[in-house]
A and B are shown apart, each in its own frame.
Chain A
Amino acid sequence: MRVAVVGVGYSGFNANTPDLHWKEIMFEAAVRAYEDAGINPRRDVDSFITCAEDIWEGFAIFDEFVPDQLGAVLKPTCTICGDFLYGLATAYMHITSGLAEVAVVEAHSKASDILTFGEVIKFAMDPIWLRQIGNAHPYYFAALEMAQYINECCITEEQIASVVVKNKNNARLNPSAPYGGKVGIEDVLNSPMVFDPMRKIEIAPRADGAVVFVLANEEIAKKLTDSPVWLKGVGWWSETSNFDTMSFNAMYAAKAAKMAYKMAGITNAAKEVDFAEVDDRFAFKEIQHIEALGLSKRFETATLMVEGYFDRNGELPINVSGGNLGVGNLLEATGGQKALEVVLQLRGEAGKRQLSKAEVGVAQAWRYIPTASGAVAVFGV
């Protein structure tokens, strides 16, 4: 059985949203997705799935707060404690198992509601083993990984800078990307070294927004639209929570991609994938993730980056939307924004940033520091 994306909606993405409550952001995204799909959620949806982490929200049992603004009152609803792409995997299972014909997936970020962001991230660290070590902002976790990775792969400062330059400039063509800019290599190299070897501009700033997808089985999808986008494969994987024993080579992304590619029947990703949206919440992560997704070879990725291979007019465009460096860190909606961009590109609805060849696209998200977990989704037309 095939599963299709028949509707997408989003709200944002903005650096701050002082005028709206997070429920109102969700409502806005949901209304747009249902309108796009041409469905009535009160009548047509069999399963609602949201992706949320209580600690980002600031209150517990988030699933209890979901139904009203999604049209899910007195309907089957559940919450996945993870990124949007994990929600897609769950919706896929609900549909292929026959539990649901139409399923909705939602994820959001109201990161601007969090006052002590560093402390909230620290809450994810083992309280006995890791949390008490030093009092630096936990962004250093990413820098530790970066230091090892760039050393292993001989990646230079300029190569890392070229990721920032590409994504910030890509974002200038995306009206939903608040952090775009005409940034050059020099601008990046002049950015303060805040977590040596990581510069401030290499860290994706936070953003608010919500993403809602409507998925359906093949029969319903063909009734709703002449041009469905198929969810061809999903995968998710975790390494270990032990920071001291992680690979620091994004094994989670490599394994999740392997799982998703197998489902999608992809044997040579570098050739078969037309474009990808990968997690770049720290600039070096983009290089690491491209490699893990098998889109280029180890030791060659950074060189290809500088050569423009991953540019929007390059051989294999990566993060045409601007990525997290351009759109922002959307917490659990990160994979949602990536999947959204893939769907818009596949539909030919990406506006000024529309790619000429877009038939197979990949979305990938990491569960952020301090994790070595993540998910991958493959879409096609």
Chain B
Amino acid sequence: MAVGKKDISCPPEAIGTPIKDEDLKKGKVTYYEDYPDLRYAWTAGQAISRFLNELKKGRLIATKCNECGRIMFPPRIFCELCFKPIDDWVYVKDTGVVQTFSISYIDPDARPLPEPIIVAVIAVDGASPKMGIMHVLGEVKPEDVYIGMKVKAVWKDEEEREGAITDIKYWKPVG
């Protein structure tokens, strides 16, 4: 049993004076706004260039390390565990299994989303276990998603694809 004074009460959160939007507009808070123009164009390199170009064709490609035998997806030019260059390129399927997921209701600016977004990590069929892709699920109700659910990529039409991860619109349940 705890000793000492027990009737200490504490509010569940500190109550202060919140800053209102109009306080900022009226200049009651001294601040300075700036919007830096920071732009980059990251060259994709050997592995990811090939990966993106294959996406354009509606295919998923991985790389293989003959030392540990892993089929690595997304592809890289080296095996990070054996620390050696890769040995081969292999296609993997555009089907897989949901490894983990989150039904996300809030946007990056902390506002409610009109419809929840189901973000999932999908272990891709043909790649080594737990190697896969983080993407979104579609054509499924949030309450029906489960870990272990089989899914398949839904691609954009060929003429709309641009060699980007968004060439896959979403993954939908199969079977």
Contacts and interface: CB of A to CB of B under 8 A. Distances in A.
A19 B45 CA distance: 5
A10 to B, nearest CB: 17
Interface stretch (A113-121, A241-249, A251-259, A265-273): A113-121
Nearest to B45: A21
A127 B35 CA distance: 10
A68 interface: yes
Interface in B32-89: 32, 34, 36-48, 76-78, 80-83
A133 interface: no
A55 B46 contact: no
A119 B45 contact: no
B40 A114 contact: yes
Contacts of B77: 24, 27
A279 B48 CA distance: 35
A241 to B, nearest CB: 17
A21 B80 CA distance: 15
A71 interface: yes
10 contacts: A21-B47, A22-B45, A42-B81, A55-B38, A58-B42, A68-B78, A110-B43, A113-B40, A113-B43, A114-B40
Given A27-B78, A68-B80, A58 B40 contact: yes
Contacts of B82: 42
A1 interface: no
A55 B36 CA distance: 11
Contacts of A112: 43
A134 interface: no
A355 to B, nearest CB: 35
Contacts of A299: none
Interface of A: 17-24, 27, 34, 40-42, 55, 58, 67-69, 71, 73, 110, 112-116, 119-120, 122-123, 127-128, 131-132
B34 A131 contact: yes
A19 B50 CA distance: 11
Query: Which of B34, B39, B40, B82 has the most A CB atoms < 10 Å from its CB?
Result: B40
B38 A119 contact: yes
A34 B44 CA distance: 25
B43 A119 contact: no
Query: Which of B37, B43, B46, B48 has the most A CB atoms < 10 Å from its CB?
Result: B43
Given A24-B77, A68-B78, A68-B80, A113 B41 contact: yes
Contact of A127 (B34, B41, B44, B48): B34
A315 to B, nearest CB: 43
Given A20-B45, A69-B80, A115-B41, 6 more contacts: A21-B42, A21-B44, A34-B83, A123-B36, A127-B32, A132-B34
Interface of B: 32, 34, 36-48, 76-78, 80-83
A24 B44 CA distance: 10
Nearest to B48: A21
Nearest to B82: A42
Nearest to A123: B36
A113 B37 CA distance: 15
Contacts of A115: 39-41
A119 B37 contact: yes
Contact of A19 (B32, B34, B42, B46): B46
A380 to B, nearest CB: 31
A369 B38 CA distance: 17
A22 B82 CA distance: 20
A20 B50 CA distance: 12
A21 B46 contact: yes
A52 to B, nearest CB: 14
Contacts of A114: 39-40
A122 B47 contact: no
A21 B83 contact: no
B45 A116 contact: no
B39 A24 contact: no
Given A68-B78, A71-B83, A17 B43 contact: yes
B34 A73 contact: no
A376 B36 CA distance: 32
Contacts of B47: 21, 24
B78 A116 contact: no
Nearest to B40: A58
Contacts of B83: 34, 40-42, 71
A120 B45 contact: no
Contact of A24 (B34, B36, B40, B46): B46
A112 B36 CA distance: 19
A-B pairs, top 6 by smallest CB distance, nearest first, are A21-B45, A58-B40, A68-B80, A71-B83, A115-B39, A119-B37
B37 A116 contact: yes
A104 B100 CA distance: 35
Contacts of A119: 36-39
A112 B42 CA distance: 8
Nearest to B80: A68
B7 to A, nearest CB: 46
